Chain A
Amino acid sequence: MKINWFKYAAPVSFYSLAGKLIPFFWLATIVLIPLGLYLGFFTTPDTLGNGMKEYYRIIYVHVAASWMAMWLYAVMVGWALIGLIFNTRLSYMMASATAFTGIIMNVIALATGAIWGKTSWGTWWDWDPKLTSFLILLFVYIGYLALQSAIEDTRRSDKASALLALVGLVLVPVIYYAVNCPDPTQCASLHQESSLERVDPSILKAMLVTTLGFWMYSFATILMRVRNIILQREQTTSWVSKLQEINQ
């Protein structure tokens, strides 16, 4: 069987496919996130093992959002790269749709991290390598969207912002190594290392379920946004004017 991989690269077919997928992603979101939080609040010990008391429960949203902010950046760059290589319009639209959800995740990570920092370090913010590089990641996300809206010609703005996203990719390993420092004597990091292997399995399970829920949430919002972008960019085409939602 020959599969036409480029069929859904056409905005017209992707628009309807996305519309069909969105409800399933929302369903998965509203099942997985509450389930993860339930597991996290009711089936886990009251301390994190390293002396952190009950405030460690912020971990469920903090870690999930931080992971998403980094992964979504990689996803965004992936779409931008596909766009640059194959020159497919939809890939650029996907990259652009991913950026804003990445920003939401980044802001959640920073805000919940600040609240956690206040309890465990006694300060809302510190210019620690991890925190600083995460803040820069937020600025790169914002810069990407700002550059895109600053250039009026869509083709140019797509290409220019895709290049910016590509350059910003260097930040992801920087953030990773800022936490998982290869040589601890060389890094003065306040943010603790990610020590998943030392965490109680019940906490880890709750964290993974919540993170999966965050993935589903990201898919749902990205697809909703890409549908808006497709409509805006293709509004003069005949397939848009034949859409049911336009004619009712």
Chain B
Amino acid sequence: MNAFFSMGGFGAYVWSAMAVAAFLMVMEPVMLMIKRRTVLQTIKRARRFAERRQHHSHKEVNDETQK
């Protein structure tokens, strides 16, 4: 097993190369999932805001008709 990890004395090079690739290829999808969550949140917030405003303006119209 030790012989496998030492890679004939080049273990540090081989494993650090693998680690760089693994790190980047795990980070990329993680970042994409985080991005997806923030995009969805932004859209939801914008929608809630628009609904509230619509609701609000309806109320104003009603108030005016009652006067």
Query: Which residues of chain A have a CB within 8 Å of any CB of chain B?
Result: 37, 41, 46, 53-55, 57-58, 61-62, 65, 100-101, 104, 107-108, 111-112, 115-116, 118-119, 217, 220-221, 224-225, 227-228, 231-232, 235, 240-241, 245-246
Report if A111-B14 is in contact (Cβ < 8 Å); known contacts: A101-B28, A231-B39, A231-B40.
Answer: no
A246 touches B47 (CB 8 A): yes
Judged by DSSP, the binding face of A is: helix
Could you list 16 examples of A-B contacts with CB < 8 Å? A37-B18, A54-B9, A54-B10, A55-B7, A55-B8, A58-B14, A65-B21, A104-B24, A104-B28, A108-B20, A108-B24, A116-B13, A119-B10, A217-B25, A224-B33, A235-B43
User: B66 interface residue, CB < 8 Å from A?
Assistant: no
Which residues of the other chain, A, contact B47 by a CB distance below 8 angstroms? 241, 246
Q: A104 contacts B25, CB within 8 Å?
A: yes
CB of B1 closer than 8 Å to a CB of A: no
B42 contacts the other chain (CB 8 A): yes
> A65 vs B21: C-alpha distance in the bound complex, in angstroms?
9
Q: Are A57 and B14 in contact (CB under 8 A)?
A: yes
Count, chain B residues at interface, CB 8 A: 27
**Chain B residues in 8 Å Cβ range of A108:** 20-21, 24-25
- Closest chain-B Cβ to A151's Cβ sits at a distance in Å of 21
Q: Is the CB of A111 within 8 A of B13?
A: no
Q: Which secondary structure dominates chain B's binding surface?
A: helix
Q: Are A228 and B35 also in contact (CB < 8 A) when A46-B8, A58-B14, A221-B28 are? A: yes
- Taken together as a complex, chains A and B put the C-alpha atoms of A107 and B23 apart, in Å, by 12
7 further interface pairs, Cβ-Cβ under 8 Å (given A104-B28, A108-B20, A116-B17) = A54-B8, A55-B13, A58-B18, A115-B20, A224-B36, A235-B39, A246-B40
Whether A55 contacts B20 by the Cβ 8 Å rule is no
Q: Which of A54, A100, A112, A241 is B21 in contact with, Cβ under 8 Å?
A: A112
Q: Are A53's CB and B10's CB within 8 A?
A: yes
Residues of chain A lying within 8 A (CB to CB) of residue B44: 246
Within the complex, what minimum Cβ distance (angstroms) separates A75 from chain B? Answer: 16
| Shortest distance between the CB of B2 and any CB in chain A (Å) | 14
Q: List residues of chain B with CB within 8 A of the CB of A227.
A: 36
Who on chain B is nearest to A222 by CB? B32
